[in-house]
Amino acid sequence: MANKKISIKDIAKALGVSITTISFIINGKAEEKRISKEMVKKVEDYVAKVGYRPNHLAQSLRSGKSKVLVLMVEDISNSFFANIARLLEEKAFKNGYKIIYCSTENNTEKAKELIHTFKSRNVDGFIITPTAGLKNEIENLIKEDFAVILFDRWIPDLDCSHVIVENRRSSFEATQHLIENGAKKIVFITVTSDQTQMQDRLAGYLEAVKMAKMSPYVFEEPFHTSTEEFQGDQIKEYLLDHPDADALFFATNYLAFEGLHAIRKLELKIPKDVQVLAFDDHFFFSLYQPSISAIAQPLELIADKLMEGILIQLDDCGKSNSVEFKVELVNQFIQRKSTEFKV
């Protein structure tokens, strides 16, 4: 059991057979290469007996393929990404691929470094939540015929497969919902970011507000992701300055958590004093009291489409660059107590 490592060569020696033959058998090409049944059996038995495992590294080096996909997300501790990761891994596994994840922490330099590392490890494909700074790297990946697919956001002026959701539309409709509920002053709370999904969510809000001839109120926090402290003091200050705000629309769920802290500190009642709504659902929202309305992204479907999109590229290796795989999925609005119609 502790035989350091047994290679194809050792087997060849032990069995007095050539390396080639063994390689064929191991790779299921026995039929094709018309190798005798006895030979196959002999080799297979021996392989099973010594517990031989081919060295993937060497296989990759030789073949240029690795059956490994990389998932690069902004922050793996964000529940949206963590869930996508889990779903993707499952699906990849079924298709014979391994997934390895890593977090870019929205650090373009780190992301570049990671991309180079993985490139030189012959991974077959990349699933990425990109930052704008990654445009060149991604372009190169495509040029060099790696399978690439983006999600959550995409990069303008870059022709690349992606899976996103209807950010603008959902945001628009959700805002209208608040308006129908009687909101007069809706504040959109977001972070500074030029990422497309954030821009689209904002756009949807602005559009709905404009259509209702209301004034827009946008509060923008400095960029951060979910992992920081959720104290919400900045939002609290904003609300103190805008005591007549009667609805808050949070661009992400972690912003909503901060907002809930702020609301609590100010002892505001939801939805009586303020309605609350968030983009991107979280199990938390159904448990909080009152429960929080949210726009739920179709996680399972996103993962499905990502696999589908990347497999297309992986399969027809080479001519893939022409493939158009740009998917925009529908979200589901989940109304809960925080936006209940005011009687």
Binding site for a copy of itself (CB under 8 A): 1-2, 4-5, 53-58, 60-61, 75-79, 82-83, 85-86, 89-90, 93, 98-103, 105, 110, 114, 116-117, 119-122, 140, 143-144, 227, 230, 257, 260-261, 264, 283-284, 286-289
157 interacts with, out of DNA, a copy of itself, none, CB within 5 to 8 A per kind: none
- Do residues 54 and 26 lie in contact, with contact meaning Cβ atoms separated by under 8 Å? yes
34 forms part of the interface with DNA (CB under 7 A): yes
- Quote the least distance from Cβ 236 to DNA, whole Å: 54
- Quote the least distance from Cβ 192 to DNA, whole Å: 40
List binders of DNA among 293-322 (CB under 7 A): none
- Which residue among 13, 14, 61, 210 contacts DNA (CB under 7 A)? 61
Phi, psi (rounded to 5 degrees) for 61: -60, -40
Specify the long-range contacts of residues 85-91, CB closer than 8 Å, at least 24 apart: 87/299, 87/300, 87/302, 87/303, 88/127, 88/303, 88/306, 88/307, 90/303, 91/303, 91/304, 91/307
296 in helix, strand or coil? strand
Tokens of 22: 């063994």
- Quote the least distance from Cβ 134 to DNA, whole Å: 23
* CA dihedral sign of residues 256, 187, 222, 109: positive
215 interacts with, out of a copy of itself, DNA, none, CB within 5 to 8 A per kind: none
- Do residues 277 and 337 lie in contact, with contact meaning Cβ atoms separated by under 8 Å? no
Distance CA 252, CA 66 (A): 36
- Which residue among 2, 3, 49, 62 contacts DNA (CB under 7 A)? 62
Q: Which residues bind DNA (CB under 7 A)?
A: 5, 7-9, 16-21, 23-24, 26-27, 33-36, 38-39, 54-55, 58-59, 61-63
